[in-house]
Amino acid sequence: MFNEEVLAEIEQAKKEYERLIEHILKKYGEKELEETTVSGIPLKMVYTPLDITKVDYLKDIGFPGVYPFTQGVTPTGYQTKEWTIRQVVGIGTAEETNERLKHLFEQGQTGFSVCGMGYDPYESSDERSLGMLGRGGVWIDSLADIETLFAGIDMEKISINQIGCSIPVFAMILAEAQRRKIELAKLRGTIQNCVIPGGEGPRFEGNGTIDIIEYCSKNLPLWNHTSISVRNIRDQGVSALQEIAFGLYLGLYTIKSAMARGLGVDEVAPRVSFFLSAENEFLEEVAKYRAMRRVWARLMREDMGAKDPRSWLMRFHVQTTALNLTAQQPYNNLIRSTIHALAAILGGAQSLSVNSFDEALAIPTEASATLSIRTQQIIFYETGIAKVLDPLGGSYCVETLTNQLEEQAREILDYLNRLSPERAFRYMEEEADEAGYQRQRAIDNGERVLVGVNRFVMEEEESVPAHSVKLQEYDPGWRDRQIARLEKVKRERDPKKVEAAKKMLAQAYRSRVNIIEPMIEAVKAYLSIGEIVQIRKEVFGSLDLSRFGGKFFGM
Amino acid sequence: MSNQKKIRVLLVMDSLGHSTGYYVVAKGLQEAGIEVVLGGYQIPREIVDTAVEEDVDFIGYRIMDGAPDILVGRLMSLLKERGVPDIKVIVGGIIPPSMISLIKGMGVREVFTPGTRIQDIVSCVEDSK
């Protein structure tokens, strides 16, 4: 980007600068000049055009909305479409969650994102739901609960994010849309779906993960059938570099698995989305999103041979990290999450969920979830950073980090690609476990600073005490009411339709057809998720519970 | 119990997923020479079964999704019912501050929340043996 003459002059000036700081640093003793990011990328004290001499603006950065999309996936960014404010909700029964959702929409939330739906493969009356129902997410037994969950919410106006990939729940959402006479092709949403090897591997015809992709690519053109949930792996303690590389690997593996079913790359890739974290190391985080966007575009176009430009776009939702939120001095987390959110927006996120300050203590209250919305609104309306696309693009430092992250993430990806999928997934798990442990050790021995935990510690009474924060309480009544509700549904549903639906679903499982359409019909008879799982179990034998929310995906 | 015998700890979780802390604690205990049985996701009834079967000295219970008072209450009464009230219980995870004294009152040895050092958990296990 600079001509030789200018670079030679800068080189000369740099030598003078180095003499200057040598003198200053001597005064400060043996201060280490070299620092690194948490990913181990070396950081210099200053970056200059000399660091990015090889960067070709049109080839490596490009205008927003133009390949390789380093500056963003759309030509106009937040100027024409604000990011989606999408706080995660999931509390109690469908009634409590519906109420919370409506409150958040009134406060300016623009996306629906609900956790807990269909995580548990049994009915609410099961012993397993004791003390559990409704605390880690909303409980759904049947279509009646989905009707309640969406009551008063315009399904056509919002984009719907299903956390987890429960197929009965997905079918219930579509059944509810049909009941409202909404054309499925108009629905916008995302399902946290991603192919994993083993168990029901991609070659297995009864693999629901690929059924979802296949069904959506034919019927739901605006639905992200895949959401590469690398954020939760990042939250186990891996680096930004690994977050990029693991995400790329998971994305490619999912696409290749769908292609093995007979779908074309351009049928699948346009609706693959990513779910990323936003961590502490600010500059590296901004570079991370840029690097990943660029390398994904290059991989899809050059390696996978995708022709449709939409297949080259890495669109992503960010949920800010929970790993660095502390139970000590909990209001500090407001500051942390704000900085994480800034990185996500400077990195061009399409959608954002800001973790609440009380998450190390309990699930968020209405008030703390509202603060997370306000954080996003303040960034959008008050700071002005959303007015410019990729405002940190062109920074000598950020461009250098972007290059380094791309290059090193590709090395990790190459390594993963040389392993069998089973081995690659095990490797990622092992890396995540080890990283989590090393991170904790670094905090314990003070190498890694966590304010309020290992530095600037205060006694409870002198800080804002955790005790004074009003927390969300668990209501044992949620379970009682949910059990009563399911009993009522079972009393009122048409037993003939129930029997027919059960038979039809079992037959569909046995014949290994794509399960989504039969499932939509089955849930309309108000079968419970517990009943559906039972039918599936009878056809397939033992049930691999890990498919309902394994450790790896942290669902 | 002889002094030579290593301390055995059963680590369990109230739900699947978000298990970073669980594995960090497991590794930390193992490095300190404590034997760890990874029980994964179990409900209180299963925890007691495993604890008896594995003949452990301690149960380390990670609670994130569940209601600590209900789950711990059930676990403690089942331990008594099964005649193994001497198995010690420590709890860790997302525990609202108001719950800590409540579940300690049920006989839980210690409650560890985010921000805990690994060494503190190791010491707690070693000291209360």
For residue A281, the one-letter residue type is E
User: 3-state DSSP call for residue B9?
Assistant: strand
**Which of B14, B27, B118 comes nearest A444 by C-beta?**
B118
Any residues with CB less than 8 A from the CB of A12 and at least 6 apart, and which?
none
| Residues of chain A neighbouring B19 (CB-CB closer than 8 A) | 551, 554
Residue of chain B with shortest Cα separation from A555: B17
Q: Which of A181, A238, A198 is nearest to A439 (CA)?
A: A238
Cross-chain residue pair B66–A555, CB shorter than 8 Å: no
| Residues of chain B neighbouring A432 (CB-CB closer than 8 A) | 20
| Interface mutation target, options A441, A456, A457, A473, chain B, most CBs of B under 10 Å | A441
Q: Which of A229, A461, A450, A436 is nearest to A325 (CA)?
A: A450
Token pair listed for A413: 């990806």
Q: Is the pLDDT of residue A203 over 50?
A: no
Q: Is the pLDDT of residue A206 over 90?
A: no
Does residue A450 belong to the interface with chain B, where contact is any CB pair within 8 Å? yes
At residue A464, the pLDDT reads 59
Q: Is the pLDDT of residue A202 over 80?
A: no
Does residue A442 belong to the interface with chain B, where contact is any CB pair within 8 Å? no
Cross-chain residue pair A555–B17, CB shorter than 8 Å: yes
Q: What confidence tens digit (pLDDT) does each residue in B95-118 have? A: 988 899 999 999 999 999 988 999
Does residue A29 belong to the interface with chain B, where contact is any CB pair within 8 Å? no
Any residues with CB less than 8 A from the CB of B7 and at least 6 apart, and which?
B34, B35, B57, B58, B125, B126, B129
Q: Find the Cα–Cα–Cα–Cα dihedral A294, A300, A301, A305, rounded to 10°.
A: 170
Q: What confidence tens digit (pLDDT) does each residue in A415-434 have? A: 999 999 889 988 998 999 89
Does residue B28 belong to the interface with chain A, where contact is any CB pair within 8 Å? yes
Does residue B97 belong to the interface with chain A, where contact is any CB pair within 8 Å? yes
Residue of chain B with shortest Cα separation from A437: B24
For residue A141, the one-letter residue type is D
CA distance A437 to B20: 8
CA distance A185 to A153: 18
Q: Is the pLDDT of residue B71 over 60?
A: yes
Does residue A76 belong to the interface with chain B, where contact is any CB pair within 8 Å? no
Model ipTM? 0.89
At residue B55, the pLDDT reads 96
Token pair listed for A201: 């591997």
Local confidence band at B2 (pLDDT 50, 70, 90 cut-offs)? very low
> Quick count: other Cβ atoms within 10 Å of Cβ A305?
11
**Which of B45, B74, B114 comes nearest A360 by C-beta?**
B114
Residue of chain B with shortest Cα separation from A467: B97
**A436: closest CA of chain B, how far (Å):** 6
Model pTM? 0.93
Q: What is the mean pLDDT of residues B91-96?
A: 92
For residue A443, the one-letter residue type is I
Residue of chain B with shortest Cα separation from A450: B115
How far does Cα A131 stand from its chain's mean position? Answer: 27
Instruction: Give chain A's largest Cα–Cα span.
Output: 88
| Residues of chain B neighbouring A549 (CB-CB closer than 8 A) | 16-17
**What burial class does residue A524 get, using C-beta atoms within 10 Å of its C-beta: 0-12 exposed, 13-18 middle, 19+ buried?**
middle
Q: Is the pLDDT of residue A204 over 70?
A: no
At residue A31, the pLDDT reads 58
Instruction: Give chain B's largest Cα–Cα span.
Output: 39
Cross-chain residue pair A130–B70, CB shorter than 8 Å: yes
| Residues of chain A neighbouring B15 (CB-CB closer than 8 A) | 132, 136
Place of tokens 């081995």: A423
Q: What is the mean pLDDT of residues A28-38?
A: 72
Cross-chain residue pair B43–A127, CB shorter than 8 Å: yes
Cross-chain residue pair B16–A132, CB shorter than 8 Å: no
Does residue A530 belong to the interface with chain B, where contact is any CB pair within 8 Å? no
**Which of B15, B96, B119 comes nearest A132 by C-beta?**
B15
A191 bridge partner residues: A162
Among the residue ranges A29-43, A111-125, A184-198, the one predicted with the least confidence is A29-43
Cross-chain residue pair B118–A326, CB shorter than 8 Å: no
Alpha helix ranges (H) inside A299-395: 332-346, 366-382
Does residue B27 belong to the interface with chain A, where contact is any CB pair within 8 Å? yes
**Which of B17, B113, B117 comes nearest A549 by C-beta?**
B17
Token pair listed for B13: 């979780």
| Interface mutation target, options B12, B13, B23, chain A, most CBs of A under 10 Å | B23
User: What superfamily does domain B8-127 belong to in CATH?
Assistant: Cobalamin-binding domain (3.40.50.280)
**B14: closest CA of chain A, how far (Å):** 8
Task: Give percent of chain A above pLDDT 90.
Answer: 79
Cross-chain residue pair B67–A135, CB shorter than 8 Å: yes
Q: Is the pLDDT of residue A57 over 80?
A: yes
Q: What confidence tens digit (pLDDT) does each residue in A64-104 have? A: 999 999 999 999 999 999 999 999 999 999 999 999 999 99
Please provide the CATH number assigned to the domain covering A57-73+82-428+460-468. Answer: 3.20.20.240
Beta-strand pair A315-320/A223-224: unpaired
Cross-chain residue pair B15–A360, CB shorter than 8 Å: no
Cross-chain residue pair B94–A360, CB shorter than 8 Å: yes
The DSSP letter of residue A303 is: I
Does residue A328 belong to the interface with chain B, where contact is any CB pair within 8 Å? yes
At residue A489, the pLDDT reads 98
* A25, A110, A168, A187, A365 from A104: Cα distances, Å: 52, 9, 26, 21, 11
Helices H, strands E: what count in chain A? 17, 11
CA distance A354 to A360: 14
Does residue B74 belong to the interface with chain A, where contact is any CB pair within 8 Å? yes
| Residues of chain B neighbouring A325 (CB-CB closer than 8 A) | 114
Q: Is the pLDDT of residue A30 over 80?
A: no
Does residue B105 belong to the interface with chain A, where contact is any CB pair within 8 Å? no
Cross-chain residue pair A437–B64, CB shorter than 8 Å: no
| Residues of chain A neighbouring B114 (CB-CB closer than 8 A) | 325-327, 360
Q: Is the pLDDT of residue A543 over 80?
A: no
Domains of chain B, by residue range, sit at 8-127
| Residues of chain A neighbouring B117 (CB-CB closer than 8 A) | 443-444
Q: What is the mean pLDDT of residues A296-305?
A: 98
Local confidence band at A7 (pLDDT 50, 70, 90 cut-offs)? very high
| Residues of chain B neighbouring A323 (CB-CB closer than 8 A) | 20
Q: Is the pLDDT of residue A544 over 70?
A: no
* A54, A245, A262, B25 from A198: Cα distances, Å: 43, 21, 20, 27
Mean pLDDT of chain B: 92
CA distance B61 to B42: 10
- Which helix (H) or strand (E) segment holds residue A4: the answer is helix A4-27
Does residue A438 belong to the interface with chain B, where contact is any CB pair within 8 Å? no
CA distance A472 to A410: 43
Q: What confidence tens digit (pLDDT) does each residue in B15-37 have? A: 887 788 899 999 999 999 999 99
At residue A414, the pLDDT reads 98
At residue A555, the pLDDT reads 26
Does residue B129 belong to the interface with chain A, where contact is any CB pair within 8 Å? no
- Which helix (H) or strand (E) segment holds residue B54: the answer is helix B44-54
Token pair listed for A505: 């679903």
Domains of chain A, by residue range, sit at 4-33, 57-73+82-428+460-468
Mean pLDDT of chain A: 91
**Long-range Cβ pairs for the range A120-126 (8 Å, 24+):** A120/A529, A120/A548, A121/A529, A121/A530, A121/A533, A121/A543, A121/A545, A121/A548, A122/A529, A122/A530, A122/A533, A123/A486, A123/A528, A123/A529, A123/A530, A123/A531, A124/A479, A124/A482, A124/A483, A124/A485, A124/A486, A125/A483, A125/A486, A126/A530
**B29: closest CA of chain A, how far (Å):** 11
Q: What is the mean pLDDT of residues A103-123?
A: 93
User: Would the CA dihedral through A411, A412, A418, A421 be positive or negative?
Assistant: negative
Cross-chain residue pair B65–A128, CB shorter than 8 Å: no
Residue of chain B with shortest Cα separation from A474: B67
Q: What confidence tens digit (pLDDT) does each residue in A149-191 have? A: 999 999 999 999 999 889 999 999 999 999 999 999 999 999 9
